[in-house]
Amino acid sequence: MEFVQQVVAQIPWAHNIVIMGKIKDKEERLWYINKTVENSWSRNVLVARS
């Protein structure tokens, strides 16, 4: 759980809200969080992809 909290802290709060609101599966949420960090996705890109 600590790892997930650390990764979530790396992206803006608005990104977290999009991910939590659109994606219910925990593993899929983590995938989107990691890809957002890796690719520097903007919120708009994240909304379009999720």
Per-residue confidence (pLDDT) for residue 6, from 0 to 100:
77
Give the residue extent of every domain in the chain: 2-49
Reply yes or no on whether the pLDDT at 1 is more than 60.
no
Taking residues 31-44, what's their average pLDDT? 93
Per-residue confidence (pLDDT) for residue 2, from 0 to 100:
58
Q: Which residues neighbour 20 within 8 Å (Cβ) at sequence distance 6 or greater?
A: 29
Rounded to whole angstroms, the Cα distance separating 50 from 6 reads 21
Mapping DSSP to helix (H, G, I), strand (E, B) and coil, where does residue 22 land? helix
Per-residue confidence (pLDDT) for residue 41, from 0 to 100:
94
Among 9, 20, 25, 27, CA closest to 46:
20
pLDDT digits (tens, 9 = 90+) for 5-36: 677 788 999 999 999 999 999 899 989 999 99
pTM reported for the whole predicted model: 0.80
Contact 12, 44 (CB under 8 A): no
